[in-house]
Amino acid sequence: MQHWDVIIAGGGSAGLAAALTSARAGARTLLIERQTKLGGMGVNALVHTFCGLFHPDTSQPWRWLNTGVAQEVGELMMERTGQSSPDLMGRVYVLRQHPSLFASIADELCAAQPLLTRLSGAEWTHLQAENSGWVATVCSRGNSEQHQARAVIDTTGDATGARFLGTEYWQQAPAERLYRPAYVCGLPQVAGTHDEGWRLSLGAMIVCGIRSGALPETAIGAAFRDSPFSGEMFMTIDLEAGQALWDPFDAHKRAEMESAGRHTALSLWTYLRVQHEDFKHCPPPSWPAQAGIRETACYIGDHILTSDELASCQRFENEVALAGWPMEKRETAKGPKFRFFDRPEPAGIPPGCLMNQRLPGLYFAGRCLSADHEALASLRVMGTCMATGQAAALLALAAKIA
Ligand SMILES: Cc1cc2nc3c(=O)[nH]c(=O)nc-3n(C[C@H](O)[C@H](O)[C@H](O)COP(=O)(O)OP(=O)(O)OC[C@H]3O[C@@H](n4cnc5c(N)ncnc54)[C@H](O)[C@@H]3O)c2cc1C
């Protein structure tokens, strides 16, 4: 048994922020990650824009919404990619990010913390309450280890800890309403400038390809975005994934969805190389380590943040982070439906979204925080996940149980 002050399970946006905050405050911190790189979906699923980093009022010059790790990572990304400001896309500011650089920034920031220990390729498989706190079991390549701490922060995105503890601690939307998964891949060496007109004519070409039978129906959900580096693009293919039969916890269904994503991406690459001059010299797509999963399960905390609270820009006296991204609902592969906040102002996230009094010492953050399905469509973006990850660590430290 190894002993820590704080254990963080999951090294995505939320876990990274929690781990840095905890170690910087002097707590002996363990960060458990089952992939080989930190950054979660922003690295392993090639999600390539940071949303939720900026104040929602786009009539004003851009400004950071949450200070701390979210701003720090955003600033480093701007510096490394040579961007001096975020992009204004319609009614929101977004920052293009590069997944390879995000992984490296996470490595550097973690390596600078002597009190932070990272486990890589290690899956958290069990959680148990004991008098001395929590005991987490971790498996890696056939090895099983136990780690004990007074505070555990679940940033796995899947409410993994709650699912170990019992059905009363987590919730999940019905399968047909879960935000759809998507397959994102990198496309190097795409020529030309890619404005709205370019995107529209590309969309029309894809529709023709589907009508003629050259492309599968799933290609209709393809969207193309520039990386911060010229010539490189990312292609995102939203997938229905069986709609009402979709179960993100079913490994068989995930395998089918991953291979449908690759099949669609490869068909698009093959088709566009012949049909579209700008894709003529594009080598095969680079695959992500995993498909992008937008929604699985959430915790039930002391407060379940609702879409109406977000939309009305509700603030809380004891709020621990701010949300500013509109609710971007993706219940089908046909594109998002937005619900904007009533005013161009942020909403508060109270501590009860990150804890449950019946589970002292267990905190949760990122896309498995306590919120309703529609609110999650805003709170799950990476900027907000970093802010809630940081807040969860501060709550654990303030409770003096860490
Ligand atoms: C296709 C797609 C497009 C998106 N577009 C955007 C966008 O443009 N901008 C934006 O800001 N957000 C976007 N998002 C949302 C965003 O990427 C995620 O909601 C966000 O990354 C969640 O962060 P997180 O830290 O909560 O979880 P994750 O990023 O999912 O990280 C969780 C980490 O926990 C690890 N983990 C899970 N279970 C275990 C376990 N049992 N043991 C050990 N480790 C474990 C995982 O490997 C992972 O690294 C998108 C998401 C998808 C899927």
Q: Looking at residue 253, what is its pLDDT? A: 97
Distance 273 CA to ligand 1 centre (A): 31
Q: Looking at residue 401, what is its pLDDT? A: 57
Residue-wise pLDDT for 252-276, tens only, equals 999 999 999 999 999 999 999 999 9
Task: Please tell me if the CB atom of residue 51 comes closer than 6 angstroms to any atom of ligand 1.
Answer: yes
Protein residue closest via CA to atom 3 of ligand 1: 47
Residue-wise pLDDT for 3-35, tens only, equals 999 999 999 999 999 999 999 999 999 999 999
- Alpha helices by DSSP H, listed for 117-250, are 160-165, 196-211
Mean pLDDT of the region 179-196: 96
Q: Looking at residue 385, what is its pLDDT? A: 99
pLDDT band at 131 (very low <50, low <70, confident <90, very high): confident
Q: Which of 18, 16, 25, 110 shows the shortest CA–CA distance to 390? A: 18
d(CA 199, CA 63): 29
**Are the C-beta atoms of residues 310 and 341 closer than 8 Å to each other?**
yes
pLDDT band at 402 (very low <50, low <70, confident <90, very high): very low
Counting ligand 1 atoms within 8 A of each CB, the residue from 32, 381, 384, 390 with the most, and so the one to mutate, is 381
Protein residue closest via CA to atom 45 of ligand 1: 10
pLDDT band at 282 (very low <50, low <70, confident <90, very high): very high
**Are the C-beta atoms of residues 158 and 368 closer than 8 Å to each other?**
yes
Residue-wise pLDDT for 80-106, tens only, equals 999 999 999 999 999 999 999 999 999
d(CA 216, CA 340): 33
Q: Which residues contact 28 (CB under 8 A, 6 or more apart)?
A: 3, 4, 5, 6, 115, 117
Taking CB atoms within 8 Å and a gap of at least 24, the contacts of 137-141 are: 138/32
Mean pLDDT of the region 75-81: 98
